[in-house]
Every structure is written in structure tokens, then in C-alpha cells.
Amino acid sequence: MDPGQSSKLSDGIDAPWWKIWAKRRNVVMLMAFFCMQVVYLTRLSLNVTVDAMKADLGQSWDSEQLVRSFFYGLLVTQIPGGFLASKFGCTNVITVGIAGTSVLTIFTPLAAYGGAGWIIAVRFLQGLFQGVVFPCLIDLWARWAPPSERTNMVMVTFVGIIVGTIKAMFIGEPLVVSVSWESVFYIFGGAGCLWCVAWIKMIRKSPDEDRSITDGEKEFIMQTLGNVEGQSGGVKHPWKGIFTSTAVLACAVASFCQNWGIVNNLNMFPTFLKDTLNYELSPTGFLTTLPYVSAIKGLTIGGPLADRLQVKGLQTATQVRRNFTCASFIAQLIFMLAGVLVHDSIAAIILMTIAVAMGSFAWAGYVVNLLDMSPKSAGVMMGVVGTFGTVADIVSPVVTGNLTANNTVEEWNAVFFVTAGLYLLGCAVYWFLASGELQPCIPFLVLTGAVLRNPVLFTPQLPANFAPHLSFIQLQTCRITFCRNAVHVLKAEPLAGK
């Protein structure tokens, strides 16, 4: 069901806007928001403690190598994460992922006393566990987010990334100074374990399995998503279709370019200011956090705006995803280069802050696009797209380090011009290849069972002369009747003599 049709239905809940817990899907959204905070608290625990750790232990380890080892683990499990979500349930896999990385965070100080090799091993394992989280969260939203609220719910989840990063800086640094560097790992890891307990007790993978949801809200969500209660159709992911889809490739390229830009615009920008303008940002100062705050504002504006454009019929899904992603890339390019070339520290920070804020709009484009193309396989596609982004996370710091061997202005200009070129590449690829429509090669629904000898794949795109409410597809072995608007199977009947 498209967002316009979805918005005309009611969940039967009459509650003031501030009583967000009245709607069960909002509770799921809040728990996903806290999930992202835990993910980034545990991920960044080493970043905020590595210098103090090395000083305390009298070591001269390569900090970048210790931090980067996490991403190699992340590279391995993202694609399997989407498959595991459909196999074992997205909520169960998320629990294992967060619990694993939280426990490993708690044991990181012990690993540190064992040496750099042990830290690298623990970080790699943390990446393995965290790799499944993002694909599983996308799979969760494929089951919980009505089309008219889809982008906003995903963007609220992503706000947790920024909040988690800010908390890691503002809580981690004081803990290192006032308590010990070990305490950061114990507290951040403990927070993850507590979150897991709440998640297990409160959240189910779909409205169909949630006992706390009202009947009206459950019917509303499942109708808008085209599901029926007790639906047991198996999911067979069309791997060939996913890996050969130009629309998926467009999202993957966009993810690579976006992550490359984030590394340079956020992570490397303080180093640029120090090397070229002799301006050193305080790790927990106001100007340091300003870009992160702007990103939160961008996410909270971009999500509702993208949904509203579709609900009002002002833009199609393809137009919204394409416009948000490409406009974001162009805006980041312009403000990033302006900030680099202005040669004034305060002006550079302001311009880069605007660039980061505009960058958050891209997530409302290419990330949510996966839910448009195939809700059933969105988790697997997120694994593919996220893997491309992780490659950028690994490669970008290495390239930047090689380009800035002497830390000159010209070298740093080259870094940001390379980033600008990637933004242009991502914009061009996404503009021409992206699609917000259900993909024929990535089916919306997959049927398996005794009725059909082989799995039958089809999409809900039907000729206009079909009946307005019920339609059917007649195959060689059976006739399948399904609801045209909600797109769910009502019955599958074997044909006579088959």
C-alpha cells in the first residue's frame, strides 16, 4: 500500500501527541533509538580511551590499527545478518548482536593487559556481532513501519547514532579523567546488557507476535504492509536479483560515498583545522558537538518531510529518494569545499556544520529506499549496502593519511577534492539508477509450500483492467488470488488435473 492510501487508514488510538507510548510502534521506535545509542557507545569505547590506555600501560601501539580492526569484523557479517533476520527473527539476532558486543566491551580492559593482539581480536569480534544489527533493524521496520510513517521512524532510529556518539564523548572523557579508562568499558558494556534485557521483554519481531499491541493498531499496520495475521509464507531471498539490480547498486554506491564523506567531514575535520589553521577543538567543546547537533536537526526534519511529500502525492517514492540523496550530496559538496577554502576556522566550522546537517537528508533517501524496493528482502539488501559503506570506513582514513603525509594545506585540499568527486559520482549513479518502485527481480512476496512444486516469485504490479479489490495470477500449476491494494495472498488453488 502506498503512503497516501496508508495515511487514510486509522489505528483507532486517540491519544495526545506527547503520549507516544500509547502506540506500540512508537515503543519499538524508541527501543531502536536506544539500540543505536548502545551500538555507538560500545563501538566508540576504545576511541575515547585509547590514549589513556596506552599511557597507563606504557605502550606505543598504533591507535588507528586498534580502532580499525573493528570494521574488518563489521565487513563480514552484514550480508549474513539480513539472512539470519528472516531465518531466526530480527529481534533475536539483534539481541545476540548487542549482547555479544556488550560483553566483549566489558572484557576489553582484560584484553588490553594481554597486549595489542588481544585488543585487535576483541575488536574484530565486536565488529562481527555488530554487523548483524543494521540489516536486522531494517528488517524490523519492514514489519512495523506503515508506509506513511516509514522514513520518520527510520530517521528517529538513526538519531540514536548521533546521540550515542555525543554521549561517548561527553561521558567517556570525564570517566577517563575522574575514574579510570577501564570504567568506560564497564559502564558502556553494562548499558548494552541492560538494554538487551529490556529489548527481550518488550519487543517482538512483528505486530502479529506482540501481545501488548491493540487490535486496531495491529490491523492498521498489517493492512498497510500487506500482511495477514498468522501468515507463514517462507522468504526465499533472490540473491542473483539483489546482486544484479542496478537500483541496489545505486544505494550501495551512495552508501560508499556518504560514509567516505562522513569520515572526512566529521572524523578528520578537527585534524584539518589543527594542521592547516592551527585551531584545536576541545574534544567535548561546543564547537566540536555543533555538527552532531545539526545532524540531529537534519534527521528530525528530513524524515517527516519525506513522508509528507509522499502522503500528499507531491512526489513519488522514486522522486523523494532520488531528490533527498542527490540534493544532500550536492549540498555537502558545496558547503564542504566552502569550509575548506575559506581559510577561517570559525567560518569553516559553521560551513562544515551545515554540510553535516545536509548530509543527514541522504539517509532519508538511499537507506529507506531499500524498504520501497522489497520489504521482504530489505534486510539482506541493507547488508549489501552497509558492506559498501564499511569499505569506505576502512579505506578513507588510509587514503587521507597517505595524501596528508606532510600536513600541508595543499594536501588537505586534495583530500576534500577527492571527497567532492565521490559526492558527484554518487549523485550521478543514484540519479540515473535509483528506483523507489518494487523491483521485478526482487519479489515482494515469495510463496513456498505443498501447493507449488517450486517457489513462485511475483510482484504486485498489475494491469489497470484488473478488478479493483481482488486480482489473480494464473500459473501453470495453480491460480493465486490476492488483494490488489494490500498485496497479500488470500488463497492458492491447484488447477484441475495439475
Confirm whether 111 is domain-assigned: yes
pLDDT of residue 284: 63
Q: Are residues 50 and 179 in the same domain?
A: yes
pLDDT tens track for 341-357: 998 999 999 999 999 99
The chain-wide mean pLDDT, for the chain, equals 87
Q: Give 454's DSSP letter.
A: S
Q: Are residues 258 and 204 in the same domain?
A: no
Confidence of residue 485 (pLDDT cuts 50, 70, 90): very low
Confirm whether 318 is domain-assigned: yes
- Answer for the pair 303, 155: CB distance below 8 angstroms, yes or no: yes
pTM of the model: 0.87
pLDDT tens track for 1-32: 788 888 888 888 888 878 888 999 999 999 99
Q: What is the radius of gyration, based on Cα positions, of the chain? A: 24
Q: Are residues 296 and 200 in the same domain?
A: no
Q: Are residues 331 and 250 in the same domain?
A: yes
Strands 478-483 and 470-474: antiparallel
Q: Are residues 126 and 81 in the same domain?
A: yes
Q: Are residues 362 and 305 in the same domain?
A: yes
Q: Are residues 287 and 188 in the same domain?
A: no
pLDDT of residue 366: 97
Q: Does residue 447 carry a pLDDT above 90?
A: no
- Answer for the pair 172, 45: CB distance below 8 angstroms, yes or no: yes
pLDDT tens track for 59-95: 999 999 999 999 999 999 999 999 999 899 999 999 9
pLDDT tens track for 104-135: 999 999 999 999 999 999 999 999 999 999 99
Q: Does residue 322 carry a pLDDT above 80?
A: yes
**Residue 259 burial (CB count, 10 A):** 21
The domain boundary residue, chosen from 172, 197, 212: 212
CA dist 429 and 441 (Å) reads: 20
Percent of the chain exceeding pLDDT 70 equals 86
CA dist 24 and 214 (Å) reads: 8
Confirm whether 112 is domain-assigned: yes
Q: Tell me the average pLDDT across 463-470.
A: 36
Confidence of residue 238 (pLDDT cuts 50, 70, 90): confident
Q: Does residue 457 carry a pLDDT above 60?
A: no
Q: Are residues 29 and 122 in the same domain?
A: yes
Return the SS3 of 122: helix
pLDDT tens track for 42-51: 999 999 999 9
The domain boundary residue, chosen from 168, 196, 212: 212
- Nearest CA to 222 among 299, 290, 294, 142? 142
Q: Are residues 65 and 181 in the same domain?
A: yes
Confirm whether 471 is domain-assigned: no
pLDDT of residue 437: 86
Confidence of residue 475 (pLDDT cuts 50, 70, 90): very low
Confirm whether 38 is domain-assigned: yes
As to burial, measured by CB atoms within 10 angstroms (0-12 exposed, 13-18 middle, 19+ buried), residue 72 is middle
pLDDT of residue 473: 40
CA dist 467 and 470 (Å) reads: 6
Count of structural domains within the chain: 2
Q: Are residues 134 and 273 in the same domain?
A: no
Phi and psi based region of residue 329 (left: phi greater than 0; alpha: psi -120 to 50; beta: remaining): alpha
CA dist 11 and 269 (Å) reads: 46
- Answer for the pair 169, 288: CB distance below 8 angstroms, yes or no: yes
CATH code of the domain in which 341 resides:
1.20.1250.20
Q: Are residues 374 and 261 in the same domain?
A: yes
pLDDT of residue 192: 97
Least confident segment among 134-148, 274-288, 464-478: 464-478
CA 299 remoteness from chain centre: 12
Q: Does residue 483 carry a pLDDT above 50?
A: no
Q: Tell me the average pLDDT across 173-202.
A: 97
**Containing domain of residue 436, as a range?**
238-443
Q: Does residue 58 carry a pLDDT above 70?
A: yes
- Which three three-digit cell numbers place residue 458? 511475483
Q: Are residues 309 and 362 in the same domain?
A: yes
Confirm whether 184 is domain-assigned: yes
pLDDT of residue 282: 75
Confirm whether 3 is domain-assigned: no
